[in-house]
Amino acid sequence: MLDWTAVDTVLLDMDGTLLDLAYDNHFWLEHIPKVFAEIQGLGLEEARTQLNAQMSATQGTLDWYCIDHWTNTLGFDVREHVRNTAYQSSARPQVFEFLDFLRAQNKQVLLVTNAHHVVLDSKLANIDLRPYFDHLVTSHQFQAPKESQAFWFSFARSYPFNPRRTLLIDDNETVLSAAKQFGIEHLITLRQPDSTEDIKTNTLHPAILHFDELFA
Ligand SMILES: [Mg+2]
């Protein structure tokens, strides 16, 4: 599916790619609505409705991913809830075997995430991905999400790479389309970012279920 001799640089998303998105979905769709409902004295359904309205207004922007934004908007310390629940996050199947493979192949490997630094730090404290990466990059350092061209131009200036010889693996297909527009040659998405959800059969970009399809 992929000619590794044509790839020098591998860019890997974190949530839904290396880590199971089940944690994030549970955090945002169950845990946070419950806390918000308790604090506001609302029923759970009313809390969900209010949250959904606020969240859909920011989808695809950096605020959507910004824990400081949600702390200010929701009126309680979302950072604390991230720190206290991140132990529940887990790696997707074959992640460490794949990262070992990339190391053995001497690829330049970067973690490129939209996750806020509080989320990144909390998850890395639970699952230490650091040793496998040349750099860990969050889009918050460029004030632009991976969905935007602004991100890719700023990122490429700070971490030079040849887009024609680069692979991006990301469960977010809007991000993959933005990367394609920027000129990144090799793009792969995931069929099951959340282990508790159905396997996707229709994707815009080439897709894998698990990483063994790339290195076994
Ligand atoms: Mg993701």
What is the whole-number distance in angstroms between the Cα of residue 41 and the centre of ligand 1?
A: 32
Residues 6+ apart with CB under 8 A from 6: 165, 185, 186
Model confidence over 159-195: pLDDT tens digits? 999 999 999 999 999 999 999 999 999 999 999 999 9
Model confidence over 7-61: pLDDT tens digits? 999 999 999 999 999 999 999 999 999 999 999 999 999 999 999 999 999 988 9
What is the whole-number distance in angstroms between the Cα of residue 36 and the centre of ligand 1?
A: 24
Mean pLDDT, the chain, as a whole number?
A: 97
Flag whether pLDDT at 216 surpasses 80: no
What is the whole-number distance in angstroms between the Cα of residue 43 and the centre of ligand 1?
A: 30
Flag whether pLDDT at 90 surpasses 80: yes
What is the whole-number distance in angstroms between the Cα of residue 20 and the centre of ligand 1?
A: 9
Mean pLDDT of 72-87: 96
Angle between the N-to-C axes of helices 67-74 and 78-85, in degrees from 0 to 180, rounded to the nearest 10:
120
Model confidence over 124-167: pLDDT tens digits? 999 999 999 999 999 999 999 999 999 999 999 999 999 999 99
pLDDT band at 99 (very low <50, low <70, confident <90, very high): very high
The tokens for 71 are 């702390």
What is the whole-number distance in angstroms between the Cα of residue 139 and the centre of ligand 1?
A: 12
Flag whether pLDDT at 1 surpasses 80: no
What is the whole-number distance in angstroms between the Cα of residue 110 and the centre of ligand 1?
A: 14
Q: Is the pTM of this model over 0.85?
A: yes
Q: Which domains does the chain have, with CATH numbers?
A: 4-20+90-215 (3.40.50.1000), 23-87 (no CATH)
